[in-house]
Structure 1
């Protein structure tokens, strides 16, 4: 009788603890619970780099409550139907085992190219870090439910093209391990800037190639990947030339620190980290990696990417996911919104016919180039606020132009109008007077230009010069106002 009573009480207790409707313990990011300490990782030791098969076996039970790959595909497609007015669903490829890599695009004009920045979130890069795939579905659904109610949601939907890839490594998720089906760490599978690894495109994993082709198709301004096992916002560089663990900043180090701080300080408690000041870290100062996706994005795709560690536990109990979402919600939203709430944005035009020029934007003192779009010639340059910058626009065949701006906490619109390069012996007269006339006809035309009308031409040019000066002064005066639109 006693044994039966004990067994009944044990079953009751087990069913209560496993109920998805009850939170096990309030989620505490700085102190992983005793129940899950076997799958949490000391941040300095970075056991994240290891793939312990015995631990993978232990976390099988913790997958309860998480979406399977089939569940995820169903959720993505159902989202596309429910929110079809502001979204489209597409695949960028397949995993080793043939699982589609589904993407949700959220915008007021999904699938259309606009003069707007694009942002991407990627989750589940490592198969045993599934929190990101769940958070990104929370994010997509929140934007769908609130884009006509919440100002921040409206701002994102109407001014940004947000692309969400919930799972980059669905095979690793199914296998409950870090690496993909070919046992390759996908965050070590990209070409590296310091060492000749992964240079053979045919030898890269299909998931890696899918990401690289994706960035060839879409010009992303910024992005972030969601990981687990720590609580910190990580920024480039991720490696060092000598393979030593030292701070190694990129040309845009100030800007990356600014972006990482947006995420950290919007989080419930990331910025209060005792290990990482401000809740952010340079990747190489934490632990160097090579072949990482973060550095490749910045170098080869013009995309400013962060690596976000969003949960101390790599695979927490599914009952904690709503709490983790609440802790990360404003961080995820504010990082995307920062693309339009800060930085320098504009377009490049030709002074000759007003057509858009797919030129280049550089900032003096920062060895990095941002390319304008091919259709609208729009550019979006993320910069840390509170500083003075000299912005330069260039285009082959045109004279470069530059201007100095002071960037405060708001965005600035800075358009450039470039003049074609023309040599002294160029074809200006031939373009103006392009006919099949003989040499005598051309000579008469030149004499007409430099005859009695010369004084009128000089006067006209002088008036135009004065008008340009007045116009530039007026523009500079307006640049300090709220909209702060400047034409150079």
Structure 2
């Protein structure tokens, strides 16, 4: 009887293994996850399901790739060699305590500017190491060429580029997909459809590091580098009913535009027979849940792509120069798109001339972009070739809307918001700091009934306002010169 029970148990577990959906990387494999109803028992099951992996590559195949220590040394050497345009910092540590090193590249690294920021992340899965190699090559190429290549110069002078070559150094060291806790980091983020990763206590240190990073740094766009296919993947990654079909996010057109920038700049990605134009909607390919891409867009205000850059997850090191050559222009063009297209600008108050931390929305797109708290600059990526109704708002001020036709170049649109009038007809007082005499006095304390005083006051207001505009233009003259190809308007 005991032998019969043993046979039944073996048959039962065999059946379970056959019926469970295969779990693979975001690559050329089926990865359809069938989440449960969000109850606590499913949380643990899901994390164990995600732990299934492909066989580890042989040790011989890893020869020629940088070890974690090699990568750390190379990044430190890079920031010494290119100290004028870079800095090195860590956003946290892996499960086993290895620092998650980041290189920032900018003409003013470490400073906050009215410029967009972009991040590249590699090696999310430990057995997909090509990204970490390419990202260090990207950093070195920019360092070697930013004084002589216009594209590299544009990136250094107009973007803050952050490069995290390895999010999963522990998985890389043992040639396995998951981290040291056997969790897939690209299934560990809070999900919009299923609350299977809402328990903060269970979230991995690498995941928490990314989430904290986005709270501290405002990124306009980003991309993660994966392996196992050749395609540019964009949101949404999952669907509400867990089925496989095209499910676009509010900025679907913009994401398709960004994905095509990468694909068409690539040597052969856009020629794919499997993916039209070399791009794909994630849910249309195969749904996943708890992914980094969707979380970035929803919670980080960051437009992220998932880039599959090599059909082979772990190609021989001798192939890396060719893969780099195929991807170099794509990687550069994607970063440069932050300043070459879209609508950019700042928000100010009319009464005080001060920057306002407002919001920017586009009619017909259910997505809000926040202006930076310090410099109140906003960067709204949009697909070109269309007319957009753009509205800026801030509490206590009347919203302003302008129509913008976005062509091949970026548009700079600065908004000047009018304060809401009080019930007694008075406007807010001005505290602007400009070089004009008496500019610090109230612009309009009350409406004078006398005609002469009214005319005089109107002239004073006009002069002060022109003074404010002139001062602001001079102050940001350099910023405008950097983006001289943009069409500028003030609303």
TM class by smaller structure: 0.7 to 0.9
Q: Deviations over 1:313-355 (max 9, x none)?
A: 0000010000000000000000000000111110111111211
Partner of 2:115: 116
From the superposition, tell whether residues 320 and 41 of structure 1 become closer, same or farther in structure 2 (CA, over 3 Å): farther
**1:423 offset after TM fit, Å?**
2.4
- Distance in 1 (CA, whole Å) between partners of 2:346 and 2:428 is 30
Deviations 1:175-200 (A, max 9, x none): 21110000000000000001112212
Q: Which runs of 5+ in 2 are unaligned?
A: 1-23, 34-48, 432-444, 467-483
Q: Structure 1 residues 46 and 204, CA, compared in 2 at 3 Å: closer, same or farther? A: closer
Do 1:401 and 1:416's aligned partners in 2 also have CA atoms closer than 8 Å?
yes
Shift of residue 450, structure 1, vs aligned partner: 1.8
1:485 equivalent to 2:470? Answer: no
Give a deviation string over 1:143-197, Cα, whole Å, max 9, x none. 0000101111101011100000000000010121110000000000000001112
Q: Per the alignment, in what secondary structure is the counterpart of residue 76 of structure 2? A: helix
For residues 58-457 of structure 1, the aligned pairs below 5 Å read: 58-425=57-424, 427-428=426-427, 449-451=448-450, 453=452, 456=455
Distance 1:459 1:68, change over 3 A: closer
CA offsets, 1:58-79, max 9 Å, x none?
A: 4322111100001010011010
Distance 1:245 1:407, change over 3 A: same
Give the 3 Å change call, closer, same or farther, for CA 324–40 of structure 1 in structure 2.
farther
**Of the two, which has the highest radius of gyration?**
1
Partners of 1:353 and 1:40 lie apart in 2 by: 53
TM-score relative to the length of structure 2: 0.81
Change (3 A) 1:452 1:277: closer
Mapped contact 1:41–1:47 kept (Cα < 8 A): no
CA distance in 2, matches of 1:349, 1:248: 37
Q: C-alpha deviations, 1:97-131, integer Å up to 9, x for none?
A: 00000000000100011000000000000000000
8 Å CA contact retained: 2:100, 2:166: yes
2: CA distance between counterparts of 1:463 and 1:379? 27
After superposition, the CA RMSD in angstroms is: 2.7
Separation (CA, whole Å) in 1 of partners of 2:348 and 2:318: 53
**CA–CA separation in structure 1 for the residues paired with 2:337 and 2:134:** 19
1:47–1:454 Cα change, 3 Å = closer
User: CA 1:463–1:382 in structure 2 vs 1: closer, same or farther (change >3 Å)?
Assistant: closer
Aligned to 1:449, the other structure's residue is in SS state coil
Q: 2 CA distance for matches of 1:270 and 1:81?
A: 35
> Separation in 2 of the partners of 1:66 and 1:390?
49
1:54 Cα offset (Å): 6.8
Q: CA separation of 1:403/1:99 partners in 2, compared to 1, >3 Å: closer, same or farther?
A: same
Q: Which whole-Å CA distance do the structure 2 matches of 1:106 and 1:200 have between them? A: 35
SS at match of 1:104: strand
Distance 1:317 1:40 in 2: 19
Give per-residue Cα distances to partners, 1:343-398, cap 9 Å, x unaligned: 11101111112111111110000000000111110011100000000000000111
In 1, are the aligned partners of 2:32 and 2:287 still within 8 Å (CA)? no
- Classify the secondary structure of the residue corresponding to 1:398: coil
How many angstroms apart in 2 are the aligned matches of 1:182 and 1:198? 15
| Equivalent residue number for residue 43 of structure 1 | 28
Confirm or deny: 8 A CA contact 2:25 2:31 kept in the other structure. Answer: no
Contact 1:343/1:381 (CA < 8 Å) preserved in 2? yes
Secondary structure class of the residue paired with 2:241: coil
- TM-score normalised by L of structure 1: 0.82
Secondary structure of 1:108's counterpart equals coil
Question: Residue 460 of structure 1: CA displacement?
Answer: 6.0
CA contact (8 A) 1:40 1:313 kept: no
CA distance, structure 1, for counterparts of residue 462 and residue 96 of structure 2? 70
Per the TM alignment, residue 451 of structure 1 is displaced from its structure 2 partner at its CA by: 4.0
Corresponding residue for residue 7 of structure 1: none
Correspondence for 1:13: none
How many residues were matched structurally? 422
On the 8 A contact 2:419/2:428 being kept in 1, the answer is no
Contact 1:59 1:315 in 2 (8 A): no
Distance (Å, rounded) in 1 between the aligned partners of 2:417 and 2:332:
36
1:55 maps to which residue?
55
Deviation at 1:42, TM superposition (A): 8.1
Structure 2 match to 1:441: none
